[in-house]
Chains A and B, each alone.
Chain A
């Protein structure tokens, strides 16, 4: 282990071995995504032929057209954006309000209620799926987007996340000074809490957006590939034999569902990583 250098702690400079191992990790992280592109650019026969192709082929646009026509990928893309956007917005808003109350406002039962919020995180989503399914069938909401939006409008994780952030980031004097001036708490939230919380709100929004974009279990039950699917549901339809299985087309669907998020990551990845490593998600 001497190759790492002799200095202690975070001061040590990375040696060549560190770069080799990290390069390897980066390769493993990126290769499946690269190969997704490769597979989406070949014919269905070529993809399941040995040896597997390593370089992109000429069929990407044909496959894109084909996937687009087989399941309505355009509609799925719009649906997913709407669902993920609404879920992220409302989760961030409600989490910030509740997080602020739990972090900085004294009230009776605060600790018990906070413990309750944390405890709800352990409940598996499977437990609520069965009655939820019954509710949306009764309301005629199968294949309607509100059936996947409404159950996700709040998240215990988000409340806890914002509370942890505001606990440290928001000086209690700021809140009390505003209170002394007789400001209503809504004004305090608008003029004091939101500006301070903005970085954490952005990170939480991104995390929730990614989660909602990729959510599978409940949308898979509430929506159908041929009705009004999100991308993940449409993708499951492509992959599970409701249609003729052409693996290249299936992977083209996977590509369509992944690329928008990867673009977001290319632009905002730095901030997301910064948000996670600044310790906001830690515990």
Chain B
């Protein structure tokens, strides 16, 4: 690190040394000024190439009629792909399913995660074991998890119906029932992500100062009341973060409903009962070969996220103003 000082001495070398110092000083200024941009450049270059350009292209393609088989043949159709979507019952169905499956998976997932984090937070024998186990579903892929759950949810042979049968509840048709199938698909999401979220909550809980709990305990608050009045309010930013991440994930849900359908492809069930927007986009683009319409769906998905984000921001601002 001390490389700059080694050559500055010795009378015959003085002129060279002065020149070298100047050069070093200039290099140093350049380094300080420009190197930060060099370090962030790879991200932006790759993002531009594989994120921004495609994004704009998708916007452009959504205004055209394009077939997957001849993607270079683009015929201008204006907003027709979008007006078609508005009149398309399958689009509304997919939107509705995305919302219900999103709620069915996100709400229980985060509530259970909060509970598990609460259980893990404290003096516990084998706490590392429980933490690693909580994270194993996260290491399981969407494909592997879904294929296992398809069998667990089998109507005539599945473990779930067998267990329900013990409780006297008749065989549920997890594949074809509208609510049942959405519940089953949500279960896969819940299973994979609850532990991960629990660990994120746990991290936040560990940074809550002990004094908050101590003063609550002095006031005679029970553990449950401490949880409600100390833990949850302190976790608000973290909870918000997990809601945002889960919501983004829920809008993009694809692998679970695709593979839950087994051999029937991208229809999302015999009656489209669990076809999500991600799946519908895939069906339009890669099964029906309408890339233009698929692009319109992709932009609709993005706009929905933007709308949700704006709404959340407005609510937040309103809350802050009213105190």
Contact = CB atoms under 8 A, between A and B. Distances in A.
A130 B162 contact: no
Given A181-B5, A216-B254, A281-B203, A130 B291 contact: yes
Contacts of A128: 50-51, 54-55, 58
Interface string A58-101: 00000000000000000000000000000000000011011011
B contact face: mostly helix, strand, loop, or mixed: helix
Contacts of B129: 26
Interface in B42-100: 42-44, 46-47, 50-51, 53-55, 57-58, 61, 71
B148 A36 contact: yes
A123 B28 CA distance: 38
A269 B135 contact: yes
A127 B54 contact: yes
B104 interface: no
Interface stretch (B33-41, B174-182, B314-322): B33-41
A55 interface: no
A contact face: mostly helix, strand, loop, or mixed: helix
Nearest to A20: B119
Interface in B266-299: 278, 281-282, 285-286, 291, 294-295, 297-299
A24 B128 CA distance: 16
B144 interface: yes
Contact of B217 (A8, A251, A258): A8
Contacts of A276: 135, 196, 199-200, 203
A258 B137 CA distance: 10
B213 A8 contact: yes
Given A30-B136, A32-B148, A51-B162, A124 B298 contact: yes
Contacts of B16: none
Contacts of A251: 147-148, 151
B148 A265 contact: no
Given A49-B157, A257-B141, A279-B204, A9 B210 contact: yes
A251 B147 CA distance: 7
For the side of the interface on A, what is the size category?
Answer: 35 or more
B94 to A, nearest CB: 12
B223 A1 contact: yes
Interface string A94-133: 1101101110011100100100010011111111111111
Given A127-B54, A156-B47, A10 B123 contact: yes
Contacts of B27: 184
Contacts of A13: 122-123
B186 interface: no
Interface string B139-156: 111111101110110101
A126 B226 contact: no
B262 A154 contact: no
Nearest to B244: A122
Contacts of B46: 94, 153-154
Contact of B3 (A134, A181, A281): A181
A189 B38 CA distance: 13
Nearest to A36: B148
Given A107-B36, A279-B203, A273 B55 contact: no
A103 B198 CA distance: 28
Contacts of B116: 22, 25
Closest 7 CB pairs of A and B: A182-B4, A9-B213, A128-B54, A241-B263, A8-B217, A214-B141, A254-B144
5 contacts: A10-B213, A14-B122, A25-B119, A150-B50, A213-B141
Interface of A: 1-2, 4, 6-14, 18-19, 21-22, 25-26, 28-30, 32-33, 35-36, 39, 47-52, 94-95, 97-98, 100-102, 105-107, 110, 113, 117, 120-134, 137, 150-151, 153-154, 156, 159, 178-179, 181-187, 189, 191, 210, 213-214, 216-217, 220-221, 231-232, 235-236, 239-241, 245, 247, 250-251, 253-255, 257-258, 261-262, 264-265, 269-270, 272-273, 276-279, 281-283
Given A22-B120, A25-B130, A181-B3, 16 more contacts: A1-B222, A11-B123, A18-B122, A33-B136, A39-B151, A50-B162, A98-B42, A124-B305, A178-B1, A183-B1, A214-B143, A235-B141, A236-B258, A269-B132, A281-B203, A283-B241
